[in-house]
C-alpha cells in the first residue's frame, strides 16, 4: 500500500522560521506545474523527479509516461519504470498516451470502489506519473486541441485515482484553466512581474540564477533529527504562499552510483541490454517498417495460427499486437484507399500469403487501368480480366471426336465383323460410334466483344455456379447463348471436381457503377456466391471501392462485406464518403477525438460484426 510519494526537490528558504527545510512534494496530493525561462533548470527538475521515483518505487507500484515536446528527455525512454516515451513527431502517439491514461483512469476508478487512492489498503492499483515537457507546444499546436479537455480531466480527477501530473511551461498564457488543478507551482528564473502573475502576489527579486526561484508550500514542512527521522517544524508560516527555493541537481543516469544502484535494483542484463524488472513498455514504430522490423517488434510472439486463411498485415497502434485478417471467418473484404496510400502493398501481401497454397486459383478483375498487372506478373497462372475481348477468343476447345465402339466379336476378328449379322460373309462393317449429345450451338457474331464484366460473369458461370437464370435477365437470344456457351464435356459450376478454391480480387470501378450488368452482378450474382463462399472456399477482395449512387446496390454491397480497410484519415473519410458505407454508424466527432491524421503506412481495419476499429501500421515491402 502506497500512502504517500514524497519527492525531495531541494531546499526552501523560510526567513520567518530562520530555517531552510527540505522542499518536498507529495505526488499523491499535488500535481506539479513548473514555469521557467530557457536554461532555468526545468528539465533538470523533471529528471530529478524521475530519478527519485526510481529510487523509491518498484515496478509493482509505479508507472511513468512521458510526452517530450522539448526533446531533452530521450535518455529516459529505456528506464525501467518508464512505460511510454513519445515525442511530438507523430500525432498518433500523443493520442495514444491520452487513450491509455483514460483507460487507466477508468480501471482505477473501478478498482478503488469509491475510496481515495492513498486510503485504499487492499487492491490498490499501480500509481502513474504523467510528465509533459514544454506544455506550451502542446497548447499552441492546433492538432492537439482535442486533447486539452482530456488533459484537464486528468488534472482534475487523476490524483484521487492514482494518477499524478507534472508539466513544464515557459509561458503562463493559456494556463489559467489548469492552474487550480496543478496545486504545486514552481517558478524558476523569471521576472518579478511573472512571479506575481503565477503566485498572485508580489515576491522579492532574487536575480537570474539557474535552479533558483519560488514555490508555494503544499505540505507541512519537515526536518530531520540526528537519527535521520523526520519531524514537522513548529512555527508560523503560510501554507500555499510562495517561498524562495533552491533546486537540487539531478544525477546522471548513465554514470556513477546512480547507474550502479539502478542496475542492481532492476536486475540489468548486460548481454541482453535490458532490465530484468521493468514495467510494460509501449513501443513506437521505426522510420521504416518492413517485414524484419515487424517480426522484431513481435519479439517471438506468434502472429497467426491458421496460415491457410489468416494474413497479418501490420501492428495496431495501441497494443502493438498483430492486425490479422481471418478469411475463414470473413470471406468478403473491402479496401477503401486514397491514391498513394499503400493499397498495392496491402493487396500484394494479402494475395501472396493466400496463394502460398497451391490448390487455390486466382482471378484478377481490372477495369483497363492495369492496376492489378503487377499481381498478374507475379502469378502468371492467374485469370486476368482487364480489356474488352472478342467472343471468338473465349471459345472453349472443341470436344474430341468420340472413339468407335467395338463389339466383342469384332475384337475377336481383329476389328472385322459382318454387316447384317453374317459372321462369315467376309464383308467389313463400318464401326459404330457413341451418339454425341445434341448441342444447340449459337452463331457467334463476327467482331463482337465481351466487356470485362461480361467476361467475369462468364468465368463465374463456367467455373463456380450456374448463373444462367440471372444472366438471362441481362442478355437475350444469340448474344446470351454466345456469351454463356456450354462445353458439353464440362458441366457448368455444379460438380465438386470443378469447385476449386478461388481468390477473387475485384479492382474495378465498373463494379460500383449502376450500369445494368454491374447492378445485376452485385444484386443477384454476388449473393449466390456469398451463400456458397464458405462451402466452396471462395474469397472476395474488393479493392479501390468507390461510392455507389444506386441505393439498392449500396445496401447489397454493405451486407456482403464483413471486414474492411481504410487507407485514409478515418474521420474525413466517414464525413465525406462513408456515410452510406459500413462505416456510416461511426461518430465523426468521436473519430476526430480518438484518431490522429494518418502518417505514411497508416491505415484502419474494421471488423463489422465485432464493431471493432483499429488503427495500424502496415508492413511495407522493400520492392514498393
Mean pLDDT of 158-165: 96
Mean pLDDT of 144-159: 90
pLDDT value of residue 437: 45
Res 491 pLDDT > 70? no
Res 449 pLDDT > 80? no
Reported as a pLDDT band with limits 50, 70 and 90, residue 606 is very high
Binding residue per annotation — 584? no
pLDDT value of residue 393: 67
SS3 401: coil
Average pLDDT, the chain: 83
| 521-548 confidence digits (pLDDT tens) | 888 889 889 998 998 999 999 999 988 8
Between 573 and 422, whose confidence is greater? 573
Res 185 pLDDT > 50? yes
Binding residue per annotation — 234? no
pLDDT value of residue 403: 52
Binding residue per annotation — 40? yes
pLDDT value of residue 440: 40
Reported as a pLDDT band with limits 50, 70 and 90, residue 64 is very high
Non-local CB neighbours of 578 within 8 Å, separated by 6+ positions: 336, 566, 584, 586
DSSP secondary structure of 84-140: EEEESS-HHHHHHHHHHHHHHHHHHHHHHTTS-GGG--SSPPPEEEEEEESHHHHHH
Q: Which of 165, 163, 88, 83 is nearest to 125 (CA)?
A: 163
Res 96 pLDDT > 90? no
Between 559 and 462, whose confidence is greater? 559
Binding residue per annotation — 392? no
Binding residue per annotation — 600? no
Paired with 24 in beta bridges are 8
Reported as a pLDDT band with limits 50, 70 and 90, residue 163 is very high
Q: How far is CA 329 from the centre of its chain?
A: 20
The owner of cell 478469411 is 327
Distance CA 473, CA 469 (A): 7
Outline which parts of the chain fall under CATH 3.40.50.300. 6-275, 310-391+442-618
Do residues 601 and 618 lie in contact, with contact meaning Cβ atoms separated by under 8 Å? yes
- Please report, rounded to a whole number, the percentage of residues in the chain having pLDDT higher than 70: 85
pLDDT value of residue 488: 38
pLDDT value of residue 391: 63
Distance CA 357, CA 409 (A): 51
Reported as a pLDDT band with limits 50, 70 and 90, residue 477 is very low
Fold adopted by 6-275: Rossmann fold (3.40.50)
- Highest mean pLDDT among 95-109, 405-419, 484-498, 589-603 belongs to 95-109
Between 320 and 358, whose confidence is greater? 320
| 113-144 confidence digits (pLDDT tens) | 999 999 988 889 999 999 999 999 989 888 78
pTM (2 decimals)? 0.73
pLDDT value of residue 198: 86
Binding residue per annotation — 497? no
Binding residue per annotation — 15? no
Mean pLDDT of 334-359: 91
Domain 310-391+442-618 in this protein, CATH class: alpha beta
Distance CA 208, CA 223 (A): 28
| 272-303 confidence digits (pLDDT tens) | 889 999 999 888 888 889 999 999 888 778 78
| Cell output for 348 | 500484394
Non-local CB neighbours of 92 within 8 Å, separated by 6+ positions: 317, 595, 596, 599, 602, 615
Res 421 pLDDT > 50? no
| 563-603 confidence digits (pLDDT tens) | 999 999 999 999 988 778 888 888 898 888 788 888 889 99
pLDDT value of residue 438: 45
Binding residue per annotation — 158? no
Paired with 10 in beta bridges are 23, 247
| 431-446 confidence digits (pLDDT tens) | 444 444 443 433 434 4
pLDDT value of residue 80: 97
Q: What is the 3-state secondary structure (H, E, C) of 26-59?
A: ECCCCCEEEEECCCCCHHHHHHHHHHHHHHHCCC
Distance CA 210, CA 364 (A): 68
Distance CA 197, CA 185 (A): 12
Amino acid at each position: 500500500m502506497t500512502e504517500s510519494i514524497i519527492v525531495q526537490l531541494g531546499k526552501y528558504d523560510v526567513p520567518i522560521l530562520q530555517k531552510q527545510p527540505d522542499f518536498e512534494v507529495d505526488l499523491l496530493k499535488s500535481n506539479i506545474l513548473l514555469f521557467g525561462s530557457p536554461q532555468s533548470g526545468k528539465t533538470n527538475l523533471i529528471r530529478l523527479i524521475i530519478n527519485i521515483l526510481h529510487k523509491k518505487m518498484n515496478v509493482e507500484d509505479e508507472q511513468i509516461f512521458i510526452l517530450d515536446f522539448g526533446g531533452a528527455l530521450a535518455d529516459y525512454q529505456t528506464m525501467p519504470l518508464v512505460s511510454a516515451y513519445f515525442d511530438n513527431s507523430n500525432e498518433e502517439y500523443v493520442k495514444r498516451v491520452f487513450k491509455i491514461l483514460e483507460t487507466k483512469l477508468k480501471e482505477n476508478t473501478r478498482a478503488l470502489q469509491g475510496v481515495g487512492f492513498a486510503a485504499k489498503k487492499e487492491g490498490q492499483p499501480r500509481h502513474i506519473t504523467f510528465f509533459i515537457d514544454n506544455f506550451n507546444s502542446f497548447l499552441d499546436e492546433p492538432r492537439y486541441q482535442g486533447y486539452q479537455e482530456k488533459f484537464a480531466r486528468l488534472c482534475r480527477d487523476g490524483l484521487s485515482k492514482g494518477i499524478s501530473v507534472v508539466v513544464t511551461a515557459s509561458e503562463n498564457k493559456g494556463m489559467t484553466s489548469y492552474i487550480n488543478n496543478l496545486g504545486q507551482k514552481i517558478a524558476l528564473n523569471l521576472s518579478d512581474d511573472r512571479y506575481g502573475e503565477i503566485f498572485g502576489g508580489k515576491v522579492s527579486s532574487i536575480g537570474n540564477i539557474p535552479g533558483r526561484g519560488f514555490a508555494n508550500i503544499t505540505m507541512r514542512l519537515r526536518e530531520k533529527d540526528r537519527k535521520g527521522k523526520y519531524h514537522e517544524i513548529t512555527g508560523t508560516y503560510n501554507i500555499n504562499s510562495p517561498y524562495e527555493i533552491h533546486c537540487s541537481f539531478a544525477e546522471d543516469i548513465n554514470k556513477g552510483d546512480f547507474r550502479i544502484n539502478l542496475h542492481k535494483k532492476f536486475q540489468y542484463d548486460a548481454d541482453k541490454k535490458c532490465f530484468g524488472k521493468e514495467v510494460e513498455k509501449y513501443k513506437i514504430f521505426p522510420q521504416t517498417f518492413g517485414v524484419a522490423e515487424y517480426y522484431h517488434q513481435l519479439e517471438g510472439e506468434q502472429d497467426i495460427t491458421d496460415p491457410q486463411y489468416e494474413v497479418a498485415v501490420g501492428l495496431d497502434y495501441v497494443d502493438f499486437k498483430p492486425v490479422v485478417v481471418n478469411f475463414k471467418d470473413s470471406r468478403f473484404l473491402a479496401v477503401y484507399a486514397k491514391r498513394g496510400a499503400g493499397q498495392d502493398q496491402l493487396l500484394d501481401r494479402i494475395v501472396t500469403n493466400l496463394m502460398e497454397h497451391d490448390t487455390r486459383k486466382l482471378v484478377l478483375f481490372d477495369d483497363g487501368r492495369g492496376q492489378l498487372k503487377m499481381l498478374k506478373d507475379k502469378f502468371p497462372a492467374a485469370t486476368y480480366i482487364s480489356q474488352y475481348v472478342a467472343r471468338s477468343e473465349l471459345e472453349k476447345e472443341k470436344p474430341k471426336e468420340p472413339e468407335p465402339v467395338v463389339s466383342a466379336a469384332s475384337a475377336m476378328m481383329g476389328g472385322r465383323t459382318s454387316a447384317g449379322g453374317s459372321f462369315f460373309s467376309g464383308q467389313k462393317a463400318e464401326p459404330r460410334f457413341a451418339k454425341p449429345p445434341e448441342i444447340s450451338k449459337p452463331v457467334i457474331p463476327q467482331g463482337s466483344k465481351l466487356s470485362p464484366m461480361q467476361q467475369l460473369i462468364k468465368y463465374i458461370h463456367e467455373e463456380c455456379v450456374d448463373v444462367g437464370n440471372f444472366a438471362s435477365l441481362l442478355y437475350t437470344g444469340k448474344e446470351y447463348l454466345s456469351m454463356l456457351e456450354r462445353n458439353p464435356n464440362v458441366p457448368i459450376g455444379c460438380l465438386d471436381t470443378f469447385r476449386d478454391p478461388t481468390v477473387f480480387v475485384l479492382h474495378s470501378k465498373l463494379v460500383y457503377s449502376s450500369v445494368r450488368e454491374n447492378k445485376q452482378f452485385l444484386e443477384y450474382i454476388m449473393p449466390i456466391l456469398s451463400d456458397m463462399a464458405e462451402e466452396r472456399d471462395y474469397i472476395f477482395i474488393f479493392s479501390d471501392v468507390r461510392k455507389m449512387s444506386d441505393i439498392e446496390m449500396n445496401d447489397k454491397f454493405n451486407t456482403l462485406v464483413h471486414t474492411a480497410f481504410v487507407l485514409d484519415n478515418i474521420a474525413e473519410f466517414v464525413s465525406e464518403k462513408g456515410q452510406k458505407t459500413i462505416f456510416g454508424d461511426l461518430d465523426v466527432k468521436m473519430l476526430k477525438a480518438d484518431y490522429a491524421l494518418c502518417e505514411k503506412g497508416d491505415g484502419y481495419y474494421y471488423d463489422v460484426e465485432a464493431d471493432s476499429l483499429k488503427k495500424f501500421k502496415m508492413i511495407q515491402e522493400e520492392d514498393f
